[in-house]
Amino acid sequence: MDTRLANTWRLTVNEKRFIETALSSGIRIDGRNPFEYRKLSIKFGREDGSSEVQLGQTHIMGFVTGQLVQPYRDRPNEGTLSIFTEFSPMADPSFETGRPSESAVELGRIVDRGLRESRAVDTESLCVLAGKLVWAIRIDLHILDNGGNLVDAANIAALASLLTFRRPECSLGGEDDLEVIVHPPEEREPLPLIIHHLPIAVTFGFFSSESLLVIDPTHHEEAVMVGKMTATLNANGDVCAIQKPGGEGVLQSVIMQCLRLASRMASDITKKIKDAVETYNTERALRKIKRHPTSITLDGSVNLKEKLNEPSGHNVVNELSRKHLEKPRLASAENASSPGNNGEGESKSSNFGRSSRRDGATSNFVGGAASW
């Protein structure tokens, strides 16, 4: 079932008229301007190669995995890149389980065309042994919530996952140097993918009037618009791909206007993706730092004496406790020497003797040079 057709059935005539009237006045139903993007949020999981992108109400997760396979015969020195999409009924009631729908196939092709035709990923660096083994990179895109404009959100999720993916390092060994050895992360640091540039997909929606043009259409606007176009550009303004799946025709001047807007949006989105990836790499580096607690090793009598002479925290506590104990002892001795306070002095000194013994036991229990 086509997603746009299902959305059209759910919208009433009054809702369609309200959306078109608001757009003709230069106002969208969510309060944005016609050429304004929704709020973009990019998050990453604990594992490398996983991302979570939220564009307004659209929620998509991306996962990147890799495995060693045999290359194609016509390209023995290049790895492969494939994209798979999963439309869950939880994201939209119009999505059906089982066989991929036309919208799912179209979404995967648009994202794949933007990455493959622009050669953003260096596939030659994925070759391990020419004609024998290469890395096959697989991108899985899971639609969690359909809030409109799945193409742009899926493209950002794919790029974010590729930028954080790490593949194991491989080396050749054996007698004839034809044995491939895959090193685990504990032995050698995994290697990131070589990505030359980031192709950003920007989708435009066209309505019945030729002057009505919006960027980043929502779920309800997709049900009203009569056509759409997706332009994939990088931060330098290079056009990587253009996709217009049917609908009404568009003038050349309108297409040039869309490309200018897409070039500006591509620069902003590229900066957001790079900032998010940089933050993730910093957190990843901090997680790898192991902090060991300070421990004392007894290497010998000489080292032990040196460590005993050093002022430690326990020694400072013991010195302070001794000073406080000496002052009451002097005071009790003066009270005992005075003739009028013999009984009181004896009781105070006896009580203080018990407390001093307790304090001495406590100080010995705390630990220090004397207890060793």
Dist. CA 216–CA 172, nearest whole Å: 48
Dist. CA 114–CA 199, nearest whole Å: 6
Would you state the pLDDT for residue 202? 95
pLDDT at 158 over 90: yes
Q: Which residues of 20-56 are buried (b: 16+ CB within 10 A; e: fewer)?
A: beebeeeebeeebebeebbebebebeeebbbbbbbbb
Mean pLDDT of 15-44: 89
Mean pLDDT of 135-155: 92
pLDDT tens digits, 202-212:
999 998 766 78
pLDDT at 170 over 80: yes
Dist. CA 237–CA 120, nearest whole Å: 14
Model confidence band, residue 88 (pLDDT cutoffs 50, 70, 90): confident
pLDDT tens digits, 341-356:
444 444 444 444 444 4
Would you state the pLDDT for residue 284? 86
Residue 267 burial (CB count, 10 A): 15
Higher pLDDT, 360 or 160: 160
Would you state the pLDDT for residue 117? 86
Query: What's the CA angle centered on 231, arms 144 and 249, to 5 degrees?
Result: 105
Secondary structure letter of residue 185 according to DSSP: T
pLDDT tens digits, 96-143:
676 767 778 888 899 999 998 889 999 999 999 888 899 999 999 999
Would you state the pLDDT for residue 345? 45
Question: Of 260, 259, 367, whose CA–CA distance to 321 is shortest?
Answer: 367
Mean pLDDT of 73-93: 86
pLDDT tens digits, 215-254:
999 988 988 888 899 999 999 989 999 998 877 788 888 8
Handedness of CA 298, 302, 305, 310 (dihedral sign): negative
Q: Where are the beta strands (DSSP E) in the chain?
A: 40-44, 50-55, 58-69, 80-87, 127-129, 133-145, 166-167, 170-173, 179-182, 191-192, 200-206, 213-215, 227-233, 239-243
Asked if 59 and 261 touch (Cβ cutoff 8 Å), the reply is: no
Would you state the pLDDT for residue 178? 77
Dist. CA 37–CA 86, nearest whole Å: 25
Would you state the pLDDT for residue 319? 52
Would you state the pLDDT for residue 351? 47
pLDDT at 148 over 90: no
Q: Taking the mean position of all CA atoms in its chain, how far away is CA 349?
A: 68
Lowest mean per-residue pLDDT among 60-64, 72-76, 282-286, 341-345? 341-345
DSSP codes joined into one string, 66-93: EEEEPPBTTBTT--EEEEEEEE-TTT-T
pLDDT tens digits, 310-333:
444 444 445 544 555 455 454 444
Asked if 181 and 172 touch (Cβ cutoff 8 Å), the reply is: yes
Mean pLDDT of the chain: 78
Q: Taking the mean position of all CA atoms in its chain, how far away is CA 346?
A: 73
Prediction pTM value: 0.73
Would you state the pLDDT for residue 298? 37
Strand 200-206 vs strand 227-233: parallel, antiparallel, or unpaired? antiparallel
Higher pLDDT, 294 or 283: 283
Asked if 42 and 254 touch (Cβ cutoff 8 Å), the reply is: no
Helices 342-366 and 313-337: crossing angle in degrees, nearest 10, is 170
Element (H or E) spanning 305, and its range?
helix 301-309
Percentage of the chain modeled with pLDDT above 90:
39
Which amino acid is located at 145 in the chain?
A: D
Strand 80-87 vs strand 133-145: parallel, antiparallel, or unpaired? parallel
Model confidence band, residue 89 (pLDDT cutoffs 50, 70, 90): confident
Model confidence band, residue 154 (pLDDT cutoffs 50, 70, 90): very high
Mean pLDDT of 136-161: 93
